């Protein structure tokens, strides 16, 4: 039989084991609650991050849509402005009279000299440069101004007069460009003779001069029509020609100078067909042009 002391000892041992087990369970419960809190916080943090990411993506897409809409609006504006400009140009073109300008393609055989003395430049003549590089060489031709409309038309012609004489192949050249207003009756054609004069080195280096640069010598002629109104289109006609000279294959060296001999080409170059350029004006007197259409590919 167990004594009372033994029974008390065993009961104490049982109670002691019960207290340890409860403490472990309490610790485990606290840890579980903390884990659940951490997991809950992580889930909400993840959801918040995902929401922020979705919001950022939506903002980027919204910006792309806004940029696309802005580009569409710009393209539509360019298209509308282009349509308006082209409509105005078409109307300006329709108000132009039926006029045309034609340069004779075959030049009259060149002359060499200056002032009152011009001699026919024959194919067997040889010119040396330097030495004769400042000799003047003149080509003569003509330009026809045609008025196919039913009203009087005024052309502006910038040219140097030049014509052949009646005897000894003589020519008359005024080596000062002039600006002349030429009236052409309805259905009529006016022909104007002109000279193109340049020094030998100019013909060799660049062909005929395109402008006289304020000097008293001739350049290629230009014809223009501007109309009588301040608003509308203007047209300019011009031509071009290459040098009629070719270099001989042999060159002479004198001291430190190389002399090149030139002769006329077997066939003279032809004047180019009329080159036409149109300009459109909202106000000619104020210098306000009609702006060209804006390309849809342009960027701001």
DSSP 143-197: EEEEE-SSS-EEEEEEE-BEEE-SSTT-EEE--S-EEEEEEE-TT-EEEEEEEEE
Structure confidence at residue 149 (pLDDT): 94
Structure confidence at residue 44 (pLDDT): 67
pLDDT exceeding 90 applies to what percent of the chain?
20
Quick count: other Cβ atoms within 10 Å of Cβ 219?
20
Structure confidence at residue 106 (pLDDT): 81
Structure confidence at residue 297 (pLDDT): 43
What percentage of the chain's residues is helix, strand, coil (to nearest 5)?
35, 35, 35
Structure confidence at residue 190 (pLDDT): 96
Nearest to 143 by CA among 189, 92, 200, 193: 193
Structure confidence at residue 198 (pLDDT): 84
Q: Domains of the chain: which residue ranges? A: 1-95, 99-289
DSSP element (H, E) containing 100: strand 99-103
Confidence of residue 150 (pLDDT cuts 50, 70, 90): very high
Tens of pLDDT along 255-299?
A: 777 888 999 988 888 888 889 999 998 888 888 888 775 544 444
Confidence of residue 112 (pLDDT cuts 50, 70, 90): confident
The answer to whether residue 117 scores a pLDDT higher than 70 is yes
Write the burial class of residue 137 (CB in 10 Å: 0-12 exposed, 13-18 middle, 19+ buried). Answer: buried
Structure confidence at residue 299 (pLDDT): 46
Residue 117 has phi, psi (to 5 degrees) of -115, 105
Question: 106 is written with which tokens?
Answer: 């075959």
The answer to whether residue 87 scores a pLDDT higher than 70 is yes
What is the chain's alpha carbon radius of gyration, rounded to the nearest angstrom?
47
Write the burial class of residue 235 (CB in 10 Å: 0-12 exposed, 13-18 middle, 19+ buried). Answer: buried
What are the beta bridge partners of residue 99? 147
In a 13 Å sphere around the CA of 162, the CA atoms on its Cβ side amount to 34
> Is-contact 145 225, C-beta < 8 A?
no
The answer to whether residue 94 scores a pLDDT higher than 60 is yes
The answer to whether residue 165 scores a pLDDT higher than 90 is no
């Amino acid at each position: 039989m167990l004594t009372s002391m033994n029974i008390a000892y065993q009961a104490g041992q049982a109670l002691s084991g019960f207290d340890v087990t409860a403490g472990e369970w309490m610790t485990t419960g606290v840890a579980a609650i903390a884990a659940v809190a951490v997991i809950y916080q992580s889930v909400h943090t993840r959801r918040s991050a995902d929401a922020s990411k979705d919001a950022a993506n939506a903002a980027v897409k919204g910006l792309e849509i806004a940029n696309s809409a802005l580009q569409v609006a710009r393209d539509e504006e360019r298209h509308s402005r282009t349509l308006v400009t082209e409509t105005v140009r078409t109307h300006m073109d329709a108000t132009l009279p039926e006029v045309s300008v034609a340069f004779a393609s075959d030049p009259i055989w060149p002359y060499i000299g200056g002032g009152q003395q011009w001699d026919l430049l024959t194919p067997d003549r040889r010119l040396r440069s330097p030495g004769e590089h400042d000799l003047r060489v003149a080509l003569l031709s003509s330009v026809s101004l045609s008025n196919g409309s039913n009203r009087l038309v005024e052309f502006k012609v910038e040219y140097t007069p030049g014509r052949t004489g009646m005897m000894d192949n003589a020519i008359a050249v005024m080596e000062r460009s002039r600006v002349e207003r030429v009236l052409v009756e309805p259905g009529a054609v006016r022909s104007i003779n002109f000279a193109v004069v340049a020094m030998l080195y100019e013909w060799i280096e660049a062909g005929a001069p395109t402008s006289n640069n304020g000097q008293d010598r001739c350049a290629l002629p230009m014809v223009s029509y501007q109309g009588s109104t301040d608003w509308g289109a203007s047209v300019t006609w011009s031509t071009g020609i290459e040098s009629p000279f070719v270099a001989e294959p042999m060159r002479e060296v004198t001291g430190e100078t190389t002399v090149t001999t030139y002769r006329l080409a077997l066939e003279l170059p032809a004047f180019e067909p009329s080159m036409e350029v149109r300009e459109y004006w909202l106000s000619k007197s104020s210098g306000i042009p009609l702006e060209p259409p804006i390309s849809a590919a342009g960027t701001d």
